[in-house]
Amino acid sequence: MNSLPGSATSDPGTAGLGTVAEAGRPGRARPPRLALPRRVRRDPTVPPWIFLVPALAVYAVVVLYPSLAGVLYAFTDWSGVGAFSFVGLDNFRTLLDDDRALESVGNTLLLTLAVVVVQNGIGLLLALGVNAEIRSRSLLRAVFFAPAVVSPVMVAFLWKYVYNPDNGAGLNAVLGAVGLGGLRQDWLGDPSLALWSVAAMVVWQYAGYSMVIFLAGLQGVPAELHEAARIDGAGTWQRFRHVTWPLLAPALTVNLMLSTIGGLKLFDQVYAATNGGPGTASETLSTVLYKEAFVFGKFGYSTAVALVLALFVAAVSLVQLRCLRAREVTA
């Protein structure tokens, strides 16, 4: 792209002009390279470092320093005030004996898995639906996407009503009205259901988000490929399986990464809907670390839990990126 062979010389003026003139003559060989030292001197057109300084300073203060301090505190018994001492791996040993924390690890993984699978499954179906030539496509796209721009806390409050245990309210009332009264549940109050109810709420909010990313992928699938496959006698399923699906890989990568990281870090919805309850049934890593810090004042232990969460997120993103990049193809 950048074809300024002489841009490293001390006189950028002539170098630049020379290149423009050179480029105007097709077929002409590159002008002979000037005898430059192997390590090229500073290119005066590269922006100076000062451009980076303000951003780096803010990033260092808000993210880098606190995160490093967090890693450090994970190995201490800090209570938030006063002195603290290093306790080695004690916090992590405590974690392995802490039933609530262990359950929260399992819950976090289950919740994430459920959200990732269902949200992307529904998102893909919705994308295929609104990508077809139906009249309501742009309206439907807006409807399905709209919840994604609303605050998760507000969505959680809305769903608390949907999940109202009362027979005459919310989802239970609808089930009763359509003759499925037997399926009525105490959606958030039943320990075996609470986590899945939270997952369904998250899926409702973000399925449209997955949809628009898949939709962007679908719109990049060339129509000729479909036409060619149709002429070769491929049915709808075969065309999806062998034409659309491989070309959706980049969109799938983005979607899986986003929903996995989002699922692992999920806090607002759980906090507002169940606060980890009933009991510890919907406790996740992020609600546990919140309570350890701000309810029990165990800041050192809380940052140890945060470090575990950070490692999960980092590991999952690395693995996903590796595996998924491998199967990406281009049209």
Partner 1 sequence: MSTTASRRRGYGRYGLELVMAAAAVVFLFPVYALVTLAMKDPHRIAGSPLSPPLPPTFANFSNAWSSASLGPALVSSTVITVAALLLLITLGSTAAYCLARRARGLGHGLYILFLLGIVLPFQLGMIPLYKLVDSLGWLGTYHGMVLFYTGIQLPFTVFLYTGFIRALPPDYAQAALIDGCDHRQAFTRIVFPLLRPITGTVIILNAVLVWNDFFTPLLYLGGSGKETVPVGVFSFVGQYVSDYGLVFAGLVLAALPVLVVFLLLQRYVIKGFAGGLKG
CA distance 122 to 258: 15
Nearer to partner 1, 45 or 238 (CB): 45
Q: Name the DSSP class of 34.
A: P
Cβ proximity to partner 1, 103 vs 300, nearer residue: 300
Burial class (CB in 10 A: 0-12, 13-18, 19+), 222: exposed
Report d(CA 61, CA 239) in Å as an integer.
51
- Give bridge partners of residue 120 from the DSSP assignment: none
Q: Which one, of 188, 183, 185, lies nearest residue 282 by Cα?
A: 188
Token pair listed for 35: 């005898």
**H/E element holding 227?**
helix 223-231
Cβ closer to partner 1: 130 or 193?
130
Shortest gap between Cβ of 253 and partner 1 (angstroms)?
9
**Residue closer to partner 1, measured from CB, 34 or 146:** 146
Q: Output the smallest distance, CB 246 to partner 1, in A.
A: 17
For partner 1, the closer of residues 37 and 48 by Cβ is 48
User: In angstroms, what is the minimal distance from the CB of 43 to partner 1?
Assistant: 8
Closest separation in Å from C-beta 250 to partner 1? 7
Task: Give the nearest distance from C-beta 66 to partner 1 in angstroms.
Answer: 3
Say how far apart CA 88 and CA 85 lie, in whole Å: 9
